[in-house]
Chain A
Amino acid sequence: MKKIFLLIFCFLGLKGFSQGPVLTLPAGHTGDIKATIVSPDNKYLISSSADATTKIWELASGKLIYNFPNKTAEGKPYSFSQFIFKNNGTELLAMGRDVLMVFDFDKFKITKQVALKGFVYGALATNDRTLYITNQPEQYKADVLSLDMQDFSVKKLYELSAPDYYDIEFARISLNKQEDKLLCYTRLKGSVLIDTAGKELEIFNSDVKMLSFLPDGTMMGVKESGGRKYNIQLIDAGTKQLKWETNIEFKSIFSFYYNFQAIQFDKKTGLCLLQSRKDFAVFDYVNHTAPNLYTVPQGEANSTFLQLNLESILSEQTSRARLA
């Protein structure tokens, strides 16, 4: 507990935006990028990196406008793994190891901290009411938590124990259209469907990995077809019937284990983006068009750190891929 306390102490020292002008150097990240989000007004991009900085960028110009060091009072670097905007973009929730912080996004001041146990992997919010979080409170265990976004009380919904797998985690969490069921995806142990009270409804552990609900309530599964080929399946959540399937052959990919955590949906355009290592695929999940493959401009997509809340990254006009 001492560590958490120090961490919080350090953050209280953050003054937020300065009143006078601050010379801001347009320095890019020098470490893997761990989390990104775009503000609801589509003006700002926030990125947190293993280089122990969180940066706010002006989206249109690409200019860095705020750079703050993620260092605890002990000088230990950390980064955020999930961001969620609240209250029409006036508040930003940032989650990392052991903690959730609430920032006043106008002044970039910390207004609240909530102690969480372990590393936060997945997070999603429903209209400022409830925040669902997946974390790893200790090795061999993965939790799903719900957090009241008004009073910040935390409730454990579901706990998965995997005695044979120390690094178990729910890498991705998604909500159905009625907002009463949560699909929680682990990389190696299949997926579990629970209701929002935490009751276990169904377990998926076939060779079709059940990745996520789509915004329209359809479920998306992926099957390895060998090599760099993947079979994407859209499945009706009620009947479990296959609605559409498509195949993608990536130019480069590590393995299923590492990939497809980076999934983004754009409700406006009906596009789904699946990120690989040096390329990403985009298809229309509403009109069912075949995927287009895009190559990342340079370097490699960072597919070893995959805990992005990617729905929120896709905003009206812009989607993002994260590169290392």
Chain B
Amino acid sequence: MSLYAFNTTNNLTGNNFGDALLSVQSLKIPALASTILLGGDKINFKQLNITRNGFSVDNLRHNYGSNIIGISPDGKTGVNASAYFVNLYNAEAPGDDYDEIKTPQKDKDIPVDIVFSKDGKLLASAGGTAVIIIDVVTQKVLKTIATGNYAVTGTAGIGAFSPDNKMYVAFGIRQEKPSRFMACFNIASGVKLWERGGEDYTFKFTADNKVVFCIDRYNKKALWLNANTGELIAEKAFGDNTIYNAIVTDDLKFALLNMDNTIEVWDLNTFTKTGELGGHNAFVSYSTFMNDEKYLVSASWDNTIRIWDWKNHRELIKLVLFDENEEWVAFMPDGRFDASANVLKKMYYTRGKEIIPLEGLYEQFFTPLLINRVLNGEQFAPLPVDINNLKMVPKVKMTYEAGQRNLVVSNDIPTFNNTTGVAEITVTATSPDDAIDEIRVFHNGKIVTLTSRNLIVTNDSKASTVTKKYTINLLPGKNNVRALALNTQRTESTPDELAVIYTGGNAAVAPAPVSTNAGGIIAAIDKNATLNLVVVGINQYKNPKMALNYALADATAFKDEAERDARTMVTSVKTYLVTDDKADKAGIIAALTDVQKNARPQDVFVFYYAGHGVISEKNKEFYLVPNDVTDLKNVDEALELHGIPSKMLQQYAINIAAQKQVFILDACQSAGAFATLMTNDANRQKSFAVVARSTGTHWIAASGSQQFANEFAQLGHGAFTYVLLKAMKGEAASNKMVTINGLKNYLQVQVPDLMKKYNGTPQYPSSYGLGDDFPVEVIK
């Protein structure tokens, strides 16, 4: 359904209201892997992958597919079933490939569920008048069990294998009485062993194959039946409220019942309700255990998927997915969030009629690797800002007084003409119930340096309204200026934008940006621009134990490739190669300072680093580790003296005038406990994210826990740089161009694949940047 508004004064152009969020119609989670399969309401389904190092979503759709899905207990085989076909796919590398198994179904026998045996060797595709048993290994139909003259049906959990794979129990509906019934079949012979009446069962065999436990959802009862005869051993009643769905732990100690908006936890030994999981705002349709029954995952009509610590009755994560893409957002109850790159603009909080964009809460609440860390049991420190007591979102307004407004207005961004090359911009920021902490002004996407205090308003001038004047040296052609303000809670305003077109003097008009099919803008590079390349590679540290194998090779190869690529676009390249014994703090800073002195706005600045990197225990900040830091543990003091903090890189990003900047960090982290690595990696990602965001520069970094390990000797490089070089050699090209965003996307896909191949687990590089995309190579 869509709702449109039409503007009568603008030729009745339509405006759509609302996005399609994933409406979950089926939910499957393997017993032994952290994968979540979700069926949508069309023929699509999603696979969510929670790996050791990250989280990703695959949007899948098979020919003759459906939202009827299953996954083997080991998480290796995914299933998508439809009438006539059961498709098996490799759930460890989900994609377009799958094996089609033709099933002997009749027209009406559309499967309603896929059930795996506990050992994962068999699967049942059940629906209509048949339960089709398939041998997963040989991919052959083993047996077609006819279930009677009407339909095997139900919402979920309609059937179960006995642990010895000899029996299958199913729920069905038929015309004769009892019309709603359960039946148990011998799988080998297909013979019905017994049946009895009842409604919408949840089935579970005991480990000794002797007892079938079931929950009659309609009659609100738990039943224990003799598995061989169907005779009733015991029954107990749950209460008066309607049970819409139910699941049971493997040891039959707990049952979790979906009761409209809440999930009740029942102890089956004492037969008492021990707790309630409340939080969903609408009907809970499905729930399933995850991670050896440690967590519960639930899907609701409120369009959220939630992960619970069900034993402690605590909501851990709320997940939002969109229908047609692979975007996702995850929230903790305290407001911390993690999200895929493009989704921030779509998500927001409301308070009354006030809208608080998620982007505006970025600095305090953005938490990389959130899902992994929460499921890993990390205890987060309380946030300095209470999501329930946020101050109002600051507002920012830009004025360009001297300018005459151009009559041609596009996209509602005020556009001005200019002939002097200098624009005086006034920014007024207000924060009604707080103070303005910072104003950021971006010129063509990159922050401008106007004061040595990097735009942060000093304490004494903190006020609810701040007005500042900025002088911007314009580039020929169109100049985009964007301003935003932050309050003391670091909540960002919605940016204000204007454009100034400079057409005066003898300045050549800059090349026009190129629009891509994807809708993004690629800023063209002036052929008279200079590429300033600072490349740091450190194999030899003063402490020999810290020596690395491939950092130097990586740096050199990167330098050569970057220079080669740059010559396809610009005439002048200025390289600073800082390696091994030269790469102490002073050596690196000398190169950066020189770039700061010489780079002009139209220039390009690339910083590449291959060497050690650490997170300081003290301030959680990320440091590059030059050659004279002699230890990687307890080094806070040494770091302060010899390390290069991300803050310092941020300052160079601001001070270097080049508007096109990219920082590439292939910094390996010292080994440590997995949980520490994860947290450090997340802190490091956050450092980069905040720096990239505040400066309008691009940052690409290898995964923090990646090692320059021996397994990669055959590549001759670290995996990250190996893939980066391939990308720069043209593999990431589209439209005869390799751009920064093209590089990022290529790395995002290829690095995990390569890491998985050589290391067993995929690891994800991180990339951040809201600056304009720009080419790094043009392919002739």
- Comparing B346-354, B464-472, B570-578, B713-721, the segment that makes contact with chain A is B346-354
* Alpha-carbon separation in the docked complex, A300 to B304 (Å): 28
Q: How large is the interface on A (under 10, 10 to 19, 20 to 34, 35 or more residues)?
A: 35 or more
Whether B350 and A269, one on each chain, are in contact in the complex, defined by CB atoms closer than 8 angstroms, is: no
Whether B351 and A18, one on each chain, are in contact in the complex, defined by CB atoms closer than 8 angstroms, is: yes
A36 within 8 A of B: yes
Q: B7-42: contact bitstring with A at CB < 8 Å (1 yes, 0 no)? A: 111001011111111010000000000000000000
Whether B350 and A24, one on each chain, are in contact in the complex, defined by CB atoms closer than 8 angstroms, is: yes
Whether B350 and A28, one on each chain, are in contact in the complex, defined by CB atoms closer than 8 angstroms, is: no
Q: Which residues of B contact A314 (CB under 8 A)?
A: 8
* Alpha-carbon separation in the docked complex, A33 to B23 (Å): 18
Q: B295-334: contact bitstring with A at CB < 8 Å (1 yes, 0 no)? A: 0000000111000000000000010100000000001000
Tell whether A36 pairs with B350 under 8 Å between CB atoms, given A30-B23, A282-B12: no
Q: Which residues of B contact A57 (CB under 8 A)?
A: 3, 17-18
* Alpha-carbon separation in the docked complex, A27 to B744 (Å): 30
Whether B12 and A320, one on each chain, are in contact in the complex, defined by CB atoms closer than 8 angstroms, is: no
Give the total of B residues in contact with A, Cβ under 8 Å.
42
Whether A294 and B12, one on each chain, are in contact in the complex, defined by CB atoms closer than 8 angstroms, is: yes
Whether A297 and B18, one on each chain, are in contact in the complex, defined by CB atoms closer than 8 angstroms, is: no
Q: A30-46: contact bitstring with B at CB < 8 Å (1 yes, 0 no)? A: 11110010100000110
- Comparing A64-72, A127-135, A203-211, A242-250, the segment that makes contact with chain B is A64-72
- Comparing B204-212, B387-395, B770-778, the segment that makes contact with chain A is B387-395
A75 within 8 A of B: yes
Whether B1 and A51, one on each chain, are in contact in the complex, defined by CB atoms closer than 8 angstroms, is: yes
Tell whether A320 pairs with B350 under 8 Å between CB atoms, given A28-B17, A297-B14: no
A149 within 8 A of B: no
Minimum C-beta distance from B335 to chain A (A): 8
* Alpha-carbon separation in the docked complex, A31 to B348 (Å): 23
Out of A20, A26, A65, name the residue touching B347 (CB < 8 Å).
A26
Minimum C-beta distance from B41 to chain A (A): 9
Q: A48-63: contact bitstring with B at CB < 8 Å (1 yes, 0 no)? A: 0101000111110111
Interface residues of A in 241-276 (CB under 8 A from B): 266, 269, 271
Whether B1 and A324, one on each chain, are in contact in the complex, defined by CB atoms closer than 8 angstroms, is: yes
Out of B5, B6, B17, name the residue touching A64 (CB < 8 Å).
B17
A140 within 8 A of B: no
Whether B3 and A319, one on each chain, are in contact in the complex, defined by CB atoms closer than 8 angstroms, is: no
Whether B19 and A322, one on each chain, are in contact in the complex, defined by CB atoms closer than 8 angstroms, is: no
CB nearest neighbor in B for A296? B4
CB nearest neighbor in A for B351? A21
Q: Which residues of A contact B355 (CB under 8 A)?
A: 58, 61, 63, 65
CB nearest neighbor in B for A75? B260
B379 within 8 A of A: no
Whether B349 and A44, one on each chain, are in contact in the complex, defined by CB atoms closer than 8 angstroms, is: no
Whether B18 and A322, one on each chain, are in contact in the complex, defined by CB atoms closer than 8 angstroms, is: no
Q: Which residues of B contact A26 (CB under 8 A)?
A: 18-19, 21, 346-348
Out of A20, A24, A49, A324, name the residue touching B348 (CB < 8 Å).
A24
Q: Which residues of A contact B351 (CB under 8 A)?
A: 17-22
Whether A319 and B1, one on each chain, are in contact in the complex, defined by CB atoms closer than 8 angstroms, is: no
Whether A107 and B17, one on each chain, are in contact in the complex, defined by CB atoms closer than 8 angstroms, is: no
A141 within 8 A of B: no
Whether B350 and A298, one on each chain, are in contact in the complex, defined by CB atoms closer than 8 angstroms, is: no
Out of A28, A44, A58, name the residue touching B3 (CB < 8 Å).
A28
Whether B20 and A107, one on each chain, are in contact in the complex, defined by CB atoms closer than 8 angstroms, is: no
Whether A28 and B1, one on each chain, are in contact in the complex, defined by CB atoms closer than 8 angstroms, is: yes
Whether B2 and A298, one on each chain, are in contact in the complex, defined by CB atoms closer than 8 angstroms, is: yes
* Alpha-carbon separation in the docked complex, A66 to B355 (Å): 10
B356 within 8 A of A: yes
CB nearest neighbor in A for B346? A26
Whether A66 and B350, one on each chain, are in contact in the complex, defined by CB atoms closer than 8 angstroms, is: yes
B282 within 8 A of A: yes
Q: B149-186: contact bitstring with A at CB < 8 Å (1 yes, 0 no)? A: 00000000000000000000000000000000000000
Q: A293-324: contact bitstring with B at CB < 8 Å (1 yes, 0 no)? A: 01011110000000000000010011111111
* Alpha-carbon separation in the docked complex, A139 to B16 (Å): 37
Out of A62, A75, A298, name the residue touching B17 (CB < 8 Å).
A62
A25 within 8 A of B: yes
* Alpha-carbon separation in the docked complex, A120 to B657 (Å): 65
Whether B348 and A317, one on each chain, are in contact in the complex, defined by CB atoms closer than 8 angstroms, is: no
Whether A36 and B3, one on each chain, are in contact in the complex, defined by CB atoms closer than 8 angstroms, is: yes
A29 within 8 A of B: yes
Q: Which residues of B contact A106 (CB under 8 A)?
A: 352
* Alpha-carbon separation in the docked complex, A47 to B18 (Å): 11
Q: Which residues of B contact A269 (CB under 8 A)?
A: 8-9
CB nearest neighbor in B for A66? B350
* Alpha-carbon separation in the docked complex, A321 to B7 (Å): 10
Whether A321 and B23, one on each chain, are in contact in the complex, defined by CB atoms closer than 8 angstroms, is: no
Whether A319 and B346, one on each chain, are in contact in the complex, defined by CB atoms closer than 8 angstroms, is: no
Q: Which residues of B contact A20 (CB under 8 A)?
A: 351, 387-390
CB nearest neighbor in B for A298? B2
B281 within 8 A of A: yes
Minimum C-beta distance from B140 to chain A (A): 40
Whether A31 and B1, one on each chain, are in contact in the complex, defined by CB atoms closer than 8 angstroms, is: yes
Q: Which residues of B contact A61 (CB under 8 A)?
A: 355
Out of B9, B353, B388, name the residue touching A21 (CB < 8 Å).
B388
Tell whether A323 pairs with B23 under 8 Å between CB atoms, given A25-B303, A29-B18: no
Tell whether A320 pairs with B349 under 8 Å between CB atoms, given A69-B282, A297-B16: no
Q: Which residues of A contact B303 (CB under 8 A)?
A: 25, 27
Interface residues of B in 343-376 (CB under 8 A from A): 346-353, 355-356
Q: Which residues of A contact B4 (CB under 8 A)?
A: 296-297, 320-323
A23 within 8 A of B: yes
Q: A108-138: contact bitstring with B at CB < 8 Å (1 yes, 0 no)? A: 0000000000000000000000000000000
* Alpha-carbon separation in the docked complex, A85 to B164 (Å): 67
* Alpha-carbon separation in the docked complex, A288 to B707 (Å): 76
Minimum C-beta distance from B182 to chain A (A): 27
Identify which of A26, A49, A59, A324 gathers the most chain B CB atoms within 10 Å of its CB.
Answer: A26
CB nearest neighbor in B for A24? B350
Whether B6 and A21, one on each chain, are in contact in the complex, defined by CB atoms closer than 8 angstroms, is: no
Whether A27 and B21, one on each chain, are in contact in the complex, defined by CB atoms closer than 8 angstroms, is: yes
Whether B17 and A23, one on each chain, are in contact in the complex, defined by CB atoms closer than 8 angstroms, is: no
Whether A33 and B389, one on each chain, are in contact in the complex, defined by CB atoms closer than 8 angstroms, is: no
Q: Which residues of A contact B349 (CB under 8 A)?
A: 21-24
* Alpha-carbon separation in the docked complex, A55 to B282 (Å): 15
* Alpha-carbon separation in the docked complex, A21 to B14 (Å): 30
Out of B2, B19, B21, B320, name the residue touching A297 (CB < 8 Å).
B2
* Alpha-carbon separation in the docked complex, A321 to B16 (Å): 11
Out of A28, A107, A296, A319, name the residue touching B18 (CB < 8 Å).
A28
* Alpha-carbon separation in the docked complex, A66 to B354 (Å): 10
CB nearest neighbor in B for A323? B2
Tell whether A65 pairs with B5 under 8 Å between CB atoms, given A21-B390, A47-B17: no
Whether B388 and A64, one on each chain, are in contact in the complex, defined by CB atoms closer than 8 angstroms, is: no
CB nearest neighbor in B for A299? B2
Q: Which residues of B contact A32 (CB under 8 A)?
A: 1
Tell whether A30 pairs with B1 under 8 Å between CB atoms, given A21-B356, A297-B16: yes
CB nearest neighbor in B for A49? B1
* Alpha-carbon separation in the docked complex, A116 to B353 (Å): 30
Minimum C-beta distance from B511 to chain A (A): 33
CB nearest neighbor in B for A302? B1
Minimum C-beta distance from A79 to chain B (A): 12
Q: Which residues of A contact B18 (CB under 8 A)?
A: 26-29, 55, 57, 62, 64
Tell whether A62 pairs with B15 under 8 Å between CB atoms, given A21-B350, A23-B349, A107-B352: yes
Instruction: Return 12 A-B CB contacts under 8 Å, by A number.
Output: A17-B352, A20-B351, A20-B390, A21-B388, A22-B351, A27-B19, A29-B18, A64-B17, A69-B281, A294-B6, A317-B8, A318-B5
In the A-B complex, the 5 residue pairs with the smallest Cβ-Cβ separation, listed nearest first, are: A28-B18, A20-B388, A21-B349, A29-B1, A24-B350
Given A24-B349, A266-B8, 11 more contacts at CB 8 Å?
A20-B387, A21-B388, A25-B347, A26-B346, A26-B347, A33-B1, A45-B17, A51-B1, A107-B352, A319-B7, A319-B12
Chain A residues proximal to chain B, CB less than 8 Å: 17-33, 36, 38, 44-45, 47, 49, 51, 55-59, 61-66, 69, 75, 106-107, 266, 269, 271, 282, 294, 296-299, 314, 317-324
